Amino acid sequence: MSFLSAQGILIFFLLGMFAFSLFSEQFLSQSNIMTVVRQASIIGIIAIGVTVVIIGGNLDLSVGSMLSFSTVLVVDLHDKIGPTNAILLMFALTLMIGAVNGFLIGFLRLNSLIVTLAMLSAIQGLVLIYSGGQNVDIADQEGTWFAFFGRGYLAGIAVPVLMFGLLAIVMQIVMSYTGYGRRIFAVGGNPMAAVYSGIRNNWCVFSTYLISAFCVACAALVLGSRVMGSQNNVGQGYELLVLAGVILGGTSLLGGAGSIWKTVIGVLILGFIQNGLLLMGYPYYIQWLVTWVIIILAVWLDLANKRKRLLTTHS
């Protein structure tokens, strides 16, 4: 049973892939799998950062608005100050928003749900003020190397997928094998104990929001470069898809538990559900219904061990 609940998400994933491949022969083709992974990579890149925040015992609902902000910024500045400067400025400003989140939550110890909820609306407002409610785009779409991040290939692999994979591997190593990762787990799992063992909690929490903002900036790079333009509400609803992926991956919202590779699988499951149902001829919104059922099932499966403890406070 303990094996099942630890690897439950992986088993779930393989069973689902098997089921879909029975219904549609295109499903397991290499090109289809690459397409799904490429589509999932934007949500995946953001989900990596959000996983770190959640392991640290907090939440980040502002990632969707931040994605809109960063994408609009980088696309709009591309023509004005050149691609390199635009990317650098976009990263700097996105990290600043992350720092504001981190300061309010890490140092002033405000409730992360409400702070990031407030930031969600504030940043959405900022995007609209900045863009004047207009959509932005890049004038010379063919003559710029900016397209590389969203449309390019490196060694036969799409660049977004490469960024997604690289970020996932780096963060997985950081979270499992470094002292920093262990401290984040400690702060999320038991803040008091972390303080008594000499961990500076506020800096740890602060840094998780910087990581989250960095991931959003990477995602904005991919999204802006793929579309070569941006609507000012392009990231709307991303925070929920991202959370769904993280939760499917079995990361506990209570903090202190979770892993990057499971988040990656959670995000891929969402992507494959959408793709599989589409190939089977169902409209896309059926995917939302299925996601609802699957989230509850996956969480139930993953909570198999903790359920007894939780039930004592809910019976």
205 binds another protein (CB under 8 A): no
Task: Report residue 222 as tokens.
Answer: 């991919």
Residue 9 in the binding site for another protein (CB under 8 A): no
**CB 265 within 8 Å of CB 9:** yes
**Contact of 150 with 224, CB cutoff 8 Å:** yes
Q: Does 315 bind another protein (CB under 8 A)?
A: yes
Q: Is 180 in the site for another protein (CB under 8 A)?
A: no
- Give dist(CA 194, CA 197) in Å, integer: 5
The answer to whether 264 touches 176, Cβ cutoff 8 Å, is no
Please compute, for residue 302, the number of CA atoms within 13 A of its CA located in the half-sphere on the CB side. 24
- Which of 33, 227, 278, 299 lies at the binding interface for another protein (CB under 8 A)? 299
> Would you say 53 or 244 has its CB closer to another protein?
244
Smaller CB distance to another protein: residue 56 or 150? 56
Q: How far is the CB of 31 from another protein (least distance, A)?
A: 28
Tokens of 213: 């903002």
Q: How far is the CB of 126 from another protein (least distance, A)?
A: 6
Phi then psi dihedrals of residue 280, to 5 deg: -80, -5
Nearest alpha-carbon partner for 208 in 184, 226, 192, 228 = 184
Position 191 contacts another protein (CB under 8 A): yes
Assess 305 for contact with another protein (CB under 8 A). Answer: no
Helix extents (H) in the chain:
2-23, 30-55, 63-81, 83-102, 112-131, 148-151, 159-177, 179-189, 191-196, 201-227, 238-248, 260-279, 284-302, 307-312
In whole angstroms, the minimum distance from the beta carbon of 235 to another protein comes to: 13
Stretch that binds another protein, among 6-14, 29-37, 75-83, 105-113 (CB under 8 A): 105-113
CB of 58 to another protein, least distance (A): 13
Which residue from 37, 42, 15, 33 is spatially nearest to 279, judged by alpha carbons? Answer: 33
Q: Is 70 in the site for another protein (CB under 8 A)?
A: no
- Report the residue number, 122 or 173, with the smaller CB distance to another protein: 122
Provide, rounded to whole angstroms, the least separation between the CB of residue 161 and another protein. 25
Shortest separation between residue 152's beta carbon and another protein, angstroms = 32
Residues for the chain: how many in total?
315
- For the record, the structure tokens of 269 come out as 């499951």
Residue 110 interacting with another protein (CB under 8 A)? yes
Q: Is 311 in the site for another protein (CB under 8 A)?
A: yes
**Beta bridge partner(s), residue 137:** 229
CB 181 within 8 A of CB 258: no
Q: What is the contact mask toward another protein in residues 133 to 152, using x (rule: CB under 8 A)? A: x-------------------
- List C-alpha distances in Å: 204 to 29, 57, 255: 43, 11, 13
Q: Given candidates 36, 126, 213, 268, which one binds another protein under the rule CB under 8 A?
A: 126
| Contact status: 99 vs another protein (CB under 8 A) | no
Residues lying near another protein in the complex (CB under 8 A) are found at 104, 108-111, 113-115, 117-126, 128-129, 133, 191-192, 195-196, 200-202, 240, 243-244, 247, 253-254, 283, 285-293, 295-296, 299-300, 303, 307, 310-311, 313-315
